[in-house]
Structure 1
């Protein structure tokens, strides 16, 4: 599972999803839905059960976003995030009848993973709770750049979670490595100590230099 967010401190954050038993039940319900006749009472009951599970998952994700964004807004004076086009990233790949899309099933799976991670909602709530302290950084090459030596190479991103620099051999969690690149890019935007923070933060606290990357 891709991380919902990674911090330059090394912390990995993941939004909650359905439990394994709930996922298994959802799969069973989807199979029943495929077999149920259109317009039948059985089909209606199955769709209602599926909707309840999806609402449960959405509610958990929203609750996680609220708690996580409050915690981050209190802990960090500057919060750097990748300037990602979430709407564009989750656009359907079906295409049209004249020009059908490619790898539609894979793209649909990626879209679900992006939405389930709560990226967009987390950034929106951070912008509300840490107004003026959220810095958006160009995401280009953040995943391919070694934070240890600065070398840029697509081959260094070994997998979703592993980064191994082809130049100096530095190894790290891929998202954490990218988070530290985002931190370094945004460091010039760090604010001076302020007289107080939203949500009851401590007064005249020294600014935290470790920044957040939302992926």
Structure 2
């Protein structure tokens, strides 16, 4: 089984400068390769990874700045671009913006680097052109390293190892329990067995400070040092929020998946649901403030991230994850099957107008989701891919302990 292991690096100033340079070169290669693919598509032709790799090798003879980065790093960038274009199309892939993009590059061959443990909390890794780089040993590798990816998050650099544990995932079986999951904007997730998972990811003090920093950012000039400093402070707050969200999703996924053989989600198009009201074709510019508030609530809960955490956990336990059509799941009575908009009296109150059944509306949605998934809808089966291990317990009241 392939798993991921992420550690914080302790770069020297020279190594930080080198990593930034490699990241900028990878960004330039991505944007140049994407522009080439789009130009080929405009002419009705197609260009692939092999052709672009040959052209990049020829460009190294003329452009000396390309030689600074290892060849395998640039090749992996073109591989990622090829995969993205095959999945989304050349015009559906985004540019790597200098302001928004966080540098990231990958070393794919394990024989080019080695890992040594120096103490209880210290270790080091030897990387091409970097030499020895120290990092914090926060958890054991647990297997043989297949590749290493370097990425920057704010002011810190991290290394992620792809590790082969030598064990196979358990077989998929439906002999255990089954659970349906309903995601919402008030509560992150409600299950068909009556459990609720939710917490606040940003404290009131951080929310107030974030609002003041946004006001300060609006008064700065683009490209100024003051603006960059303000953006750095905003990223620090949002990184804390993102880490808390990811940690809670991983813990909640353990509670949902463990002991169950089938987990059913509603098939939600999060990207379309969070589109701005300004782009609406039917009623452009209508109810923009209300739509913006709904979008923030959906994105703050992290619906897609939670589903990914459940899928990753299911890969370890042998559970199956299915997605079903979400139409009328919250207005259908799970007892008599009566469907009517008046069944849902409020956000949390469900009263069937036919049989009088009363229950929490989110629980009703989860039960209907499970019923559709158990009836046999499109299934997702576990695949071998890197996952983030998570603790096996979560406090539904909102407290969560950091990972070891």
Scaled by the length of structure 1, what TM-score is found? Answer: 0.76
1:173 matched to 2:360 = yes
Comparing 59-68 and 28-37, the one that deviates more: 28-37
Alignment equivalent of 1:183, drawn from 370, 379, 394: 370
**1:40 shift after superposition:** 4.8
Q: Is the 8 A contact 2:250 2:310 kept in 1?
A: no
Tell me the secondary structure at the aligned position of residue 52 of structure 1: helix
Equivalences, count: 189
* Larger strand proportion of the pair: 2
Residue 32 of structure 1 aligns with which residue? 216
**Aligned counterparts of 2:365 and 2:187: Cα–Cα separation in 1:** 12
**1:93-135 deviations in Å (ceiling 9; x for gaps):** 2228xx8442222222212211111211121232233146112
**Aligned counterparts of 1:39 and 1:112: Cα–Cα separation in 2:** 27
Q: Is the 8 A contact 1:15 1:65 kept in 2?
A: no
Following TM superposition, the consecutive aligned residue runs of length 4 or more in structure 1 with deviations greater than 6 angstroms are none
**Aligned counterparts of 2:364 and 2:293: Cα–Cα separation in 1:** 25
Residue 133 of structure 1 aligns with which residue? 320
The one of the two structures with greater contact order (alpha-carbon pairs below 8 A, sep at least 6) is 1
**1:67-88 deviations in Å (ceiling 9; x for gaps):** 2223322231110111111122
Comparing 37-46 and 116-125, the one that deviates more: 37-46
Q: Which runs of 5+ in 2 are unaligned?
A: 1-184, 377-388, 390-404
**Aligned counterparts of 2:357 and 2:255: Cα–Cα separation in 1:** 31
**1:181 shift after superposition:** 1.2
Residue 163 of structure 1 aligns with which residue? 350
Q: Is the 8 A contact 2:330 2:344 kept in 1?
A: yes
Tell me the secondary structure at the aligned position of residue 127 of structure 1: helix
**1:152 shift after superposition:** 0.8
Residue 44 of structure 1 aligns with which residue? 228
**Aligned counterparts of 2:343 and 2:233: Cα–Cα separation in 1:** 44
**Aligned counterparts of 2:323 and 2:199: Cα–Cα separation in 1:** 21
RMSD: 2.5
Residue 265 of structure 2 aligns with which residue? 81
Alignment equivalent of 2:302, drawn from 100, 111, 118: 118
**Aligned counterparts of 2:346 and 2:226: Cα–Cα separation in 1:** 43
Q: Is the 8 A contact 2:349 2:361 kept in 1?
A: yes
Tell me the secondary structure at the aligned position of residue 278 of structure 2: coil
**1:40-96 deviations in Å (ceiling 9; x for gaps):** 544433322222111111111111112222332223111011111112212232228
Tell me the secondary structure at the aligned position of residue 109 of structure 1: helix
Indicate the structure (1 or 2) with the bigger Cα radius of gyration: 2
Residue 5 of structure 1 aligns with which residue? 189
Residue 210 of structure 1 aligns with which residue? none
Residue 341 of structure 2 aligns with which residue? 154
**Aligned counterparts of 1:15 and 1:78: Cα–Cα separation in 2:** 25
